[in-house]
Amino acid sequence: MQTTSVIQKPQKKQKLNRNRKCLGNLPEEVLRHILSFLPTKDVVKNSLLCKRLEYLWTSIPTLDFHQSHNSPAMKERKRTLFMNFVDRVLCLRGSSDIKRFTLCCDVLHDVSRVNTWISAALRHNVQELYIELANFKGEFSLTYVLFTCKTLTSLHLNMSDIILKLPTTICFSNLKILSIENVIFPQQYLTRKLFSGLPVLEELKLKDCSWGNLLFLSISSPKLHRLSIFEMQMPDDHYGDVRVGQVMIFGDSLKEFHYAGSLFGDYCLYNSFSLKKAVIDAYAEVISDQFAYRTYKLLIGLSNVKFLKLYARVLENLKYAPELPPHMPVFNNLMNLVFFDSWVDLDCEALLKMLQGSPCLENLEFLGGIRLSSNCEEDDCILDPVPSCFLSHLKRIKVGRYHGSKKEFTAVKILLNNSVALEEMVITCKEYFAWYIEEQNHFNWNLEKQENHSE
């Protein structure tokens, strides 16, 4: 047994050596592709393992620089090493193009150095640029050549509440994807110019930006397909009231729209005839009639949508302007309506008007649950008049987080009673409900009784 074991060990080493030799024999393009999935610092380290890779790393299509954040005692030393490393890599870079360039670091007093790195990437015809900067006070000017780059197809800017000073000339002739996070825009004219210099833009994401008393912002890229706006936090007050007054979105080609936030401005969609999907969440610590009107304006712009996903509180917001729910917009193309996150009251006036104005609705989901308000548990005339979609198109209803209360069952019963074209109703119960067999049996018996009564 010992002899066999001794003989087998060298065989394993020989197999490993052959694998290493095979790796070294791979074509350079394949090796570059493999190395492009690694952080740049790991690529440089691995170049020491194989002579074939010694200089190959200088032409890989992806460069990824992330400054690590260590303890205060180590931070300055680590930062110096990081800065020198980036300098060295870019200095030794060959003439080959860069497909994707990522830079995440603190700026501090090194504005010119950071811009030199970005300029180096631009000189190598970079296509995808991801810039995440932090720790800088005052106005920051990115290298002006960035804003006229003809090879750039994707740009992500995350500047951690840094004030961005824009150049006077802005034209992204080939930019298709733009993401801007935590950026402060102080100049009204140049900010508007930025969003008008995007002729082929297809995807736009705006998150927690401050607009510097911008009275209005127009987003009108003719090829824009997907727009996402997130306002998760209150804007900073570098320029007093930094909320944008009005955002006008001209969605001639818009297919998907996402919004989540506190509606710091008026968001109005125009010409959104091609809109297929929208996901909306609007919330505020203190809800006023102004907030209700802003919610209403946003919904009006979505009237052509086919798939609409709403947080339940979106409809609740409208209660703070009682004149709005009776005049809910008509959704002639809506086929899928989904509510999630929390309860929906079936007797909510805004919901009833919305259902009555959605003649083609086929799928209706209450993922956070459905119930009646406490003052009308026994009212079986809630759906009066019955929405036309219940009589012709509505084929599927889904109810989530069912607790087993009387208010919930009454709501389910009303839906089941009035959905003439219904083919399927799916009810998902809360976990604890599964332990009460008697309640389950009682629920099933009542539901079967209701189905027989409907027939």
Instruction: Round to whole Å and give the CA distance between 78 and 105.
Output: 12
Residue written as tokens 């009589």?
A: 391
- Packed helices 72-91 and 111-123: angle between N→C axes, nearest 10 degrees: 30
Are 338 and 370 in contact by the 8 Å Cβ rule? The answer is no
Q: Is the peptide bond before 385 cis (omega within 30 degrees of 0)?
A: yes
Render pLDDT for 206-257 as a digit per residue (tens, 0 to 9): 999 888 777 888 898 899 999 999 987 655 544 444 456 789 999 889 999 9
pLDDT (mean) for 356-373: 95
- Strand-pair partners of 402: 429
Are 32 and 61 in contact by the 8 Å Cβ rule? The answer is yes
> Would you say residue 14 has pLDDT above 70?
no
pLDDT at position 88 is 87
Better pLDDT: 155 or 75: 155
Render pLDDT for 179-208 as a digit per residue (tens, 0 to 9): 999 999 888 888 888 998 899 999 999 999
The share of the chain scoring above pLDDT 90, in percent, equals 54
pLDDT at position 161 is 84
Q: What is the DSSP string of 311-333?
A: ETHHHHHGGGSTTSGGGPPP-TT
pLDDT band at 258 (very low <50, low <70, confident <90, very high): very high
Q: Please, what is the average pLDDT of the chain?
A: 83
pLDDT (mean) for 125-149: 94
pLDDT (mean) for 399-409: 88
> Would you say residue 403 has pLDDT above 90?
no
pLDDT at position 404 is 80
pLDDT band at 376 (very low <50, low <70, confident <90, very high): low
Q: What is the DSSP string of 286-314?
A: S--HHHHHHHHHHHHTTTT-SEEEEETHH
Q: How many residues does the chain have?
A: 455
| CB-based burial label for 438 (10 Å; 0-12, 13-18, 19+) | exposed
> Would you say residue 128 has pLDDT above 90?
yes
